[in-house]
């Protein structure tokens, strides 16, 4: 395995910082209305019934033509689900609901300024707007089935409309988180070979109307240097007809969507009949090397999986008002704001702003006003809300029947506040563990069947069979012992490959525990998630954190290599090392250690310059807590930077034995610099 892996696992285990907790039980009222309460249905998802069990999810959708093979393994490990089936995701999220529910709200768009009214978009209106935009994409932008388009937009209804319009045409959308920098956007344009970029002029964030279109201008320039020409930039307007003069446009390249759309009013587009295994979208995520990975998600399998898990784990019924606070630019937003809830004909809330702006009551006022009854958020938001307004939820008249947490481990104390104050002791809670690569939940309790346990995600959700392996590929059977969590079987929501890089897909996720690389049998291809975990005697999994070079900041994955590469762009920098530091609200934040090239002086201004370079290249989310300009990096004799030692210093932990290092004296200097001791 090499000493690197051992070092990383040790680091992950630092995260084990709380004890097993007792159970909490859902109310009889919740169980009385829950979608899944029959253990026999759960049991139908056993490995004995694999893969046929997943047809239960596929049957929640409308197909133009049914599949003839549930799981095709001939191109292992690129699995094909529901082969032979024909389907359209936009049709399933919109058209099929019109007959009975056209007047129902599909999307409640909540602008950040409270002075602006909420936009309640019915399924009929969504149908009209998606069709018109699809017509524009096809006839004006020239996009067709199989093309990729990059979408760099803030949290607005137009983002969901854009995705659904692409899906209608079979155009593969690649949504980039709105807060990402032009550089990050450009990388994704180049990798996905998008010749169309969809943007928005502006959006509100913490009280300021930010100009967003400038990011598109820079991204297009950078992408061109990277070899990808964007010939059209489509710009939605936050205030149609108002802000055009403030948004400089490049003639012949940039177009205001709201103006061009007038030519397509009343147009209807027949949904494309897609193969189940045709890609629906790409979603980029950080990996162990610098380059983000374009996770390619399928149409039929993905949609079936998000519909099924939205129904059984989120307990979404068509009459629910469901609010997931995540950004649509992350996988949670794709699966559990747009595709899952809309496939089930629920009403989904899209909120433009930050949950804590302008005050600690904002989120609860939204819940009260819209009568939200299912609430989905992340530990980082829960911690922030708890910090600034621990008693705030009680002041508002809302009632959640169900709540979710996702994105990182949640501390039991924070979980208990969430349960008691936000959920008012009434809500069933699910802690859902999964990843961009997975499409939908992997571990969680089924809320109508299993009790909750603060700090533990739960067992595998129906049809997901986790296993923990040690470094040597042996199963870890003993409770409480950490190892690498893997999934034994494929599932329909799983990504199909890394866009354009099948080798990296196999190498990253399967090579480590593959039993036979030539095998076409799924049993030989356990999926490596890249997280350390323990299993308890009751079969619940506790996720401890990443085992690879990824930092989870506010529930978002940042590659340490990405941040280090960004620092190395600054001329004075010789070496850079990033380590995660525990943070009250964000979970983890990066600390950046820098060794300068000879002849340069360590100054505050230089540290600031390096920090700015990172924000510029990746986005503010990657901003280091602190840039430490150190005389040298602690290194092994073979020259590897000892991130474990730096991590221990940043987190005020014991650095352990460093005498085998090439330069142990530097550890003393760095320690004094950082901790003052
Ligand atoms: C959905 C999403 C994935 C990584 C994952 C793990 C961490 C996510 C978690 C959790 C503990 C949970 N993670 N959910 N850790 N408990 N409930 O977050 O996708 O952005 O790809 O991040 O997040 O480390 O590997 P993504």
Read off φ and ψ for residue 91, nearest 5 degrees.
-60, -45
Q: Exposed (0-12), middle (13-18) or buried (19+): which is 229, by Cβ within 10 Å?
A: exposed
| Residue reference for tokens 């799924």 | 522
Residues, the chain, total?
Answer: 677
Does residue 194 line the site of ligand 1, with CB under 6 A?
Answer: no
Q: Is 452 in the pocket of ligand 1 (CB under 6 A)?
A: no
Is residue 282 a contact partner of residue 296, using CB atoms and an 8 Å limit? yes
| 343 Cα: distance to centroid of ligand 1 (angstroms) | 23
Q: Which two tokens stand for residue 617?
A: 């290249």
pLDDT score, position 1: 30
Instruction: Summarize the chain as % helix, strand, coil (round to 5).
Output: 35, 25, 40
Ligand 1 pocket check: which of 508, 552, 554, 586 to mutate, most ligand atoms within 8 Å of Cβ?
Answer: 552
305 C-alpha vs ligand 1 centroid, how far in Å?
18
Cα three-residue angle 385-391-396, rounded to 5 degrees: 90
Could you tell me where the DSSP H helices lie in 446-509? 502-509
ipTM above 0.95? Answer: yes
Check residue 9 and give its pLDDT: 35
Q: Taking a C-beta distance cutoff of 8 angstroms, is the pair 379, 408 a contact?
A: yes
Question: What's the CA-to-centroid distance between 149 and ligand 1, angstroms?
Answer: 26
- Distance, CA 663 to ligand 1 centroid (Å)? 36
The closest of 274, 275, 239 to 258, measured between CA atoms, is 239
3-class DSSP assignment, residue 670: helix
Q: Tell me the average confidence (pLDDT) per consecutive run of 10 residues in the chain, 677 residues long.
A: 34 48 95 97 96 98 98 98 98 98 98 96 98 98 98 98 98 96 94 98 93 96 97 93 74 96 98 98 79 94 98 98 96 98 98 95 98 96 92 98 94 93 97 97 97 96 97 91 95 98 97 97 97 94 84 85 88 91 90 93 96 93 95 82 90 86 92 92
Query: What pLDDT does 8 receive?
Result: 36
Confidence (pLDDT) at 434: 97
The answer to whether domain 114-272 and domain 559-675 are alike in fold is: no
Ligand 1 lined by 129 (C-beta under 6 Å) = no
Q: Which two tokens stand for residue 127?
A: 């149908």
Bridge-based pairing state of the strands 105-110 and 347-351: parallel
Of 529, 556, 547, 380, nearest in space to 460 by CA: 529
Q: Is 249 in contact with 258 (CB distance < 8 Å)?
A: no
CA of 363 to the centre of ligand 1 (A): 23
Ligand 1 centroid to residue 179 C-alpha, Å = 19
Query: Pairing state of beta strands 86-87 and 105-110?
Result: unpaired
Question: What's the topology of domain 559-675?
Answer: GMP Synthetase; Chain A, domain 3 (3.30.300)
**Separation of 406 CA from ligand 1 center, angstroms?**
7
Which atom belonging to ligand 1 lies closest to the Cα atom of 555?
A: 18
Please give the biggest Cα pair distance in the chain.
Answer: 74
Instruction: Please tell me the predicted confidence (pLDDT) of residue 14.
Output: 36
Q: Across-strand partners of 430?
A: 404
| Omega of the bond leading into 358 within 30 degrees of 0 (cis) | yes
DSSP string, 170-206: T-EEEEEETTS-HHHHHHHHHHHT-SEEEEESEEEET
Ligand 1 mutation pick, 309, 434, 482, 534, max ligand atoms within 8 A of CB: 434
> What CA–CA distances, in Å, run from 124 to 97, 165, 344, 509?
9, 14, 15, 42
Nearest-CA residue for atom 19 of ligand 1: 435
Q: How many helices (H) and strands (E) does the chain have?
A: 22, 30
d(CA 405, CA 408): 8
Best residue among 309, 407, 412, 560 to mutate for probing ligand 1, ranked by most atoms within 8 Å of CB: 407
Residue 499: CB atoms within 10 A of its CB come to: 23
CA pair distance 313, 35, nearest whole angstrom = 9
Spacing, Cα 408 to ligand 1 middle (Å): 5
What is the per-residue DSSP string for 399-410? --SEEEEESS--
State the CB neighbour count (10 A cutoff) for residue 642: 22
Closest-lying ligand 1 atom to the alpha carbon of residue 436:
21
Cα distances (Å, whole numbers) of residue 311 to 306, 320, 325, 447, 448: 8, 11, 18, 11, 11
Cα(100)–Cα(432) distance, integer angstroms: 32
Atom number of ligand 1 nearest to Cα 550: 24
C-alpha 662 chain-centroid distance: 39
Q: Which helix (H) or strand (E) holds 39?
A: helix 39-43
Cβ 431 under 6 angstroms from ligand 1 = yes
Say how far apart CA 76 and CA 519 lie, in whole Å: 7
Assigned token pair, 200? 């928005």
Contact of 24 with 396, CB cutoff 8 Å: no
User: How many whole angstroms separate alpha carbon 458 and alpha carbon 434?
Assistant: 12
415 lines ligand 1 (CB under 6 A): no
Cβ–ligand 1 distance for 212 under 6 Å, the answer no
Ligand 1: which residue has its CA nearest to atom 5?
Answer: 435
The answer to whether domain 114-272 has CATH 3.40.50.980 is yes
User: How many degrees, rounded to 5, is the angle at CA 31 between CA 492 and CA 58?
Assistant: 20
Report the pLDDT value the prediction gives residue 644, as an integer from 0 to 100. 85
CA of 404 to the centre of ligand 1 (A): 13
Residue 406 CB–ligand 1 contact under 6 Å: yes
Q: Whose CA is nearest to atom 17 of ligand 1?
A: 433
Residue 385: how many other CB atoms lie within 10 Å = 27
Asked if 309 and 441 count as a contact pair (C-beta separation under 8 A), the reply is yes
Cα of 434 vs centre of ligand 1, distance in Å, is 5
- Token pair listed for 260: 């061009």
Is any ligand 1 atom within 6 A of the Cβ of residue 327?
no
546 lines ligand 1 (CB under 6 A): yes
51: cis peptide before it, omega within 30°?
yes
Residue identified by tokens 């506790």 is: 542
Residue 529 Cα: closest atom of ligand 1: 25
E strand map for 140-299:
148-153, 172-177, 196-200, 202-205, 208-211, 232-236, 254-256, 274-275, 279-285, 293-298
Domain regions of the chain by residue span: 114-272, 559-675
């Amino acid at each position: 395995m090499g000493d690197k892996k051992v070092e990383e696992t040790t680091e992950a285990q630092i995260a084990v910082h709380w004890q097993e907790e007792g159970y909490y039980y859902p109310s009889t009222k919740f169980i009385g209305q829950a979608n899944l309460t029959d253990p026999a249905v759960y049991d139908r998802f056993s490995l004995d019934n694999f893969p046929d069990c997943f047809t239960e999810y596929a049957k929640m959708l409308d197909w133009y033509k049914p599949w003839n093979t549930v799981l095709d393994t001939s191109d292992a490990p690129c699995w094909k689900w529901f082969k032979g089936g024909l389907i359209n995701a936009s049709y399933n999220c919109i058209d099929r609901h019109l007959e009975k529910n056209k007047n129902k709200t599909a999307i409640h768009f909540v602008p950040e300024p409270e002075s602006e009214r909420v936009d309640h978009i019915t399924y009929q209106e969504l149908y009209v707007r998606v069709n018109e935009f699809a017509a524009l994409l096809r006839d004006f932008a020239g996009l067709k089935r199989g093309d990729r388009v990059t979408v760099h937009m803030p949290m607005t209804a137009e983002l969901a409309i854009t995705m659904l319009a692409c899906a209608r045409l079979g155009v593969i959308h690649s949504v980039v988180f709105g807060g990402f920098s032009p550089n990050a956007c450009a990388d994704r344009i180049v990798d996905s070979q998008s010749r169309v970029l969809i943007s928005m002029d502006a959006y509100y964030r913490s009280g300021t109307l930010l100009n967003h279109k400038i990011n598109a201008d820079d991204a297009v320039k950078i992408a061109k240097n990277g070899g990808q020409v964007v010939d059209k930039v489509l710009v939605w307007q936050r205030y149609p007809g108002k802000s055009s003069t403030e948004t400089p446009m490049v003639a012949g390249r940039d177009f205001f969507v709201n103006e061009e759309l007038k030519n397509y009013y009343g147009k209807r587009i027949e949904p494309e009949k897609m193969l189940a295994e045709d890609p629906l979208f790409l979603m980029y995520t950080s990996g162990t090397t610098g380059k983000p990975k374009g996770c390619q998600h399928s149409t039929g399998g993905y949609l079936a999986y998000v519909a099924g898990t939205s129904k059984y784990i989120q307990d979404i019924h068509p009459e629910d008002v469901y609010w997931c606070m995540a950004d649509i630019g992350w996988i949670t937003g794709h699966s559990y704001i747009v595709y899952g809830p809309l496939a089930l004909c629920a009403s989904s809330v899209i909120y433009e702003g930050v949950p804590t702006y302008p005050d600690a009551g904002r989120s609860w006022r939204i819940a009260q006003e819209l009568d939200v009854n299912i609430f989905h958020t992340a530990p980082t938001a829960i911690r922030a809300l708890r910090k600034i307004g621990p008693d705030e939820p009680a002041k508002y008249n809302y009632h959640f029947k169900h709540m979710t947490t996702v994105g990182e481990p949640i501390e039991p104390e924070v979980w208990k506040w969430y349960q008691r104050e936000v959920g008012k002791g009434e809500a069933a809670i699910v802690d859902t563990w999964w990843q961009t690569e997975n499409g939908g939940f992997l571990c969680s309790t089924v809320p109508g069947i299993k009790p909750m346990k603060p700090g533990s995600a739960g067992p595998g959700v129906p049809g997901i069979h986790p296993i923990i392996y040690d470094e040597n590929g042996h199963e870890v059977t003993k409770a409480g012992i950490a190892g690498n969590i893997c999934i034994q079987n494929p599932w329909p929501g799983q990504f199909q490959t890394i866009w354009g890089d099948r080798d990296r897909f196999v190498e990253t996720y399967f090579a480590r525990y593959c039993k036979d690389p030539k095998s076409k049998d799924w049993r030989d291809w356990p999926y490596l998630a890249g997280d350390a975990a323990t299993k308890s005697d009751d079969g619940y999994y506790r996720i401890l954190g990443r085992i690879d070079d990824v930092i989870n900041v506010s529930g978002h994955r940042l590659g340490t290599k990405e941040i280090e590469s960004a620092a190395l762009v600054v001329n004075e920098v010789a070496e850079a090392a990033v380590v995660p530091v525990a943070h009250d609200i964000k979970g983890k934040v990066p600390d950046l250690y820098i060794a300068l090239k000879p002849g340069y002086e360590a100054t505050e201004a230089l540290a600031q310059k390096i920090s700015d370079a990172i924000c510029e290249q990746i986005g503010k989310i990657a901003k280091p807590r602190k840039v430490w300009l150190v005389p040298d990096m602690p290194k092994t004799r073979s020259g590897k930077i000892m991130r474990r030692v730096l991590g221990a210093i940043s987190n005020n932990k014991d650095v352990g034995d460093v005498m085998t290092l090439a330069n142990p004296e530097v550890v003393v200097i760095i320690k004094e610099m950082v901790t003052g001791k």
